[in-house]
Amino acid sequence: MDLKALLTTFGMIFLAELGDKTQLATLAFAAEGKSRLAVFIGSAGALVLTSLIAVILGAAVSRVIPPNYIKTGAGALFIIIGLWMILSPWAR
């Protein structure tokens, strides 16, 4: 196993997930006072499943499209969606 890839991925995903809507939704479910263990298992399972889907799709797409194009495209899409959210009248 590539320890550098593991730690880099962990660090980036951990930082990206802090304060996002998924974390806030999990916080809200836990605050309702229901089974916190069930909330933890449900939210962790959902994150693991979405990560699995991303890894499978990323591996499949990288067979057809070079990884540097994927990174550039993902970055451009991120910027486009961010600008769209800022400039869109319904987002205000």
- In a domain, residue 40? The reply is yes
- In a domain, residue 80? The reply is no
What pTM was computed for the model?
0.69
Digit-coded pLDDT (tens) for 27-58? 999 999 879 999 999 999 999 999 999 999 99
- In a domain, residue 12? The reply is yes
- In a domain, residue 51? The reply is yes
- In a domain, residue 75? The reply is no
- In a domain, residue 31? The reply is yes
- Do residues 39 and 30 make contact, with C-beta atoms less than 8 angstroms apart? yes
* Overall number of domains in the chain: 1
- Do residues 80 and 74 make contact, with C-beta atoms less than 8 angstroms apart? no
Average per-residue pLDDT in the chain?
89
- In a domain, residue 30? The reply is yes
Domain that holds residue 15: 3-65
